[in-house]
């Protein structure tokens, strides 16, 4: 079988267009566009690129907002004060603190200071709790992007065996909970899993979020499985690769996401989605 490629750029463009329409409707109803504030601490080059892309995408979708750039010498107390001020500002709908923070910061304490209703990264413990109890909080962007891609591929998850590789709070755990919510039978595998290949080979839906280039080989994949590759790994040649051995797995899977141009393209689109949803939810009171 040769896999159909799930094109993240095409699906992300669809999400962005939906967000733009909804942002315009919000502006008409409330006399102001949804506003996203991104906080960047330090000079990390990759974070600078991510933040620039988020700012550009937000403006293209008709959102207001800016990037608050703070020097690496900023103290924990100063960053906390910045986040608390944004949380208290009624004109701000979404707050994103770009992670990872430079060494020395207590990132969990910073995330805790974000108003959960403005937590567009979906990482606040209140939102993580709402996800695990089936509530309607803001959800992490990358896992939401994976779920949207599965929907676009027409995958019915009910009763399917799903395997998630990776158990981070950012990707693995939340995507596993979202799959469970859609009635899949979910296994979460990680670095201590015994016989990873055998676990993966049972999956109807396999989500790889590990951070190890081409870890998932063709013989780890069941014929006809749907494979979502979250991994982004930069090789010594500067080229990006996923956690899945794309060329080999493409001959086994029914659907497969590429890297780049797969899940990565979805993450910013879902951030914009969360910002408009946060604005609408807050306006309802
Ligand atoms: P993370 O916090 O480093 O978590 C990696 C997970 O993979 C951990 O649970 C770890 O297990 C597991 N793992 C590591 N090596 C393994 C191995 N050899 N076999 C089995 N499991 C292994 O990473 P993350 O933040 O979840 O990100 C995962 C990947 O997705 C990275 O490549 C990252 O760049 C990418 N990512 C992409 C996007 C996007 O927009 N597409 C967004 C976020 C992340 P233990 O828990 O046992 O250590």
Instruction: List pLDDT tens digits, range 122-178.
Output: 999 999 999 999 999 999 999 999 999 999 999 999 999 999 999 999 999 999 999
54 is catalytic: yes
98 is catalytic: yes
Residue tagged active-site, from 98, 222, 245, 252: 98
Closest C-alpha to ligand 1, atom 16: 191
Nearest atom (ligand 1) to Cα of 266 = 40
Q: Tokens representing 100?
A: 């990872």
Position 1 scores a pLDDT of: 85
Q: Is the C-beta atom of 194 inside 6 A of ligand 1? A: no
The distance of Cα 3 from the centroid of its chain, to the nearest Å, equals 23
Instruction: List pLDDT tens digits, range 199-221.
Output: 999 999 999 999 999 999 999 99
Alpha carbons within 13 angstroms on the beta-carbon side of residue 215 total: 23
Other CB atoms within 10 Å distance of the CB of residue 136: 10
Position 155 scores a pLDDT of: 98
Cα–Cα dist 37/24, whole Å: 18
Position 86 scores a pLDDT of: 98
What's the order of all strands across the beta sheet hosting 205-208?
Answer: 4-5, 255-256, 226-229, 205-208, 161-165, 185-189
Dihedral angle computed from the Cα positions of residues 208, 173, 55 and 69, in that order, rounded to the nearest 10 degrees: -120
Q: Is the C-beta atom of 258 inside 6 A of ligand 1? A: no
- Across the 285 residues of the chain, what is the mean pLDDT of every consecutive 10-residue run? 96 98 98 98 94 96 97 97 98 97 97 98 98 96 98 98 98 98 98 98 98 98 98 95 98 98 96 98 93
- The owner of tokens 């020395």 is 104
Mutate to test the pocket of ligand 1, among 169, 206, 207, 211 (most ligand atoms within 8 A of CB): 211
Position 285 scores a pLDDT of: 82
Q: Tokens representing 210?
A: 């590990």
- Which pTM value belongs to this model? 0.97
48 is catalytic: no
Residue tagged active-site, from 22, 54, 173, 229: 54
Q: Is the C-beta atom of 213 inside 6 A of ligand 1? A: no
């Amino acid at each position: 079988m040769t896999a159909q490629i799930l094109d993240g750029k095409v699906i992300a463009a669809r999400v962005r267009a939906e967000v733009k329409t909804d942002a315009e409707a919000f502006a008409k109803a409330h006399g102001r566009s949804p506003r996203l504030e991104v906080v960047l601490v330090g000079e990390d080059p990759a974070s600078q690129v991510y933040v620039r892309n988020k700012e550009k995408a937000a403006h293209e979708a008709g959102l207001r907002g800016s990037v608050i750039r703070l020097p690496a010498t900023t103290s924990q107390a100063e960053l906390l004060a910045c986040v608390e001020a944004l949380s208290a500002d009624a004109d701000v709908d979404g707050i994103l603190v770009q992670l990872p923070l430079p060494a020395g910061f207590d990132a969990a304490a910073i995330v805790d200071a974000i108003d959960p209703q403005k937590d567009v990264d979906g990482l606040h413990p209140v939102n993580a709790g709402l996800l695990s109890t089936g509530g309607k909080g803001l959800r992490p962007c990358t896992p939401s992007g994976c779920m949207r891609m599965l929907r676009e591929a027409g995958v019915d998850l009910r009763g399917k065996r799903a395997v998630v590789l990776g158990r981070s709070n950012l990707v693995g755990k939340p995507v596993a909970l979202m799959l469970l919510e859609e009635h899949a039978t979910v296994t979460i595998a990680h670095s201590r899993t015994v016989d990873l290949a055998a676990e993966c080979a049972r999956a109807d839906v396999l989500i790889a979020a590990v951070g190890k280039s081409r870890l998932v080989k063709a013989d780890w994949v069941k014929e006809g499985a749907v494979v979502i590759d979250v991994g982004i790994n930069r090789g010594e040649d500067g080229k990006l690769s996923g956690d899945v051995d794309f060329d080999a797995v493409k001959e086994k899977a029914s659907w497969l996401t590429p890297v780049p141009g797969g899940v990565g393209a979805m993450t910013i689109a879902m951030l914009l989605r969360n910002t408009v949803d946060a604005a609408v939810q807050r306006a309802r009171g």
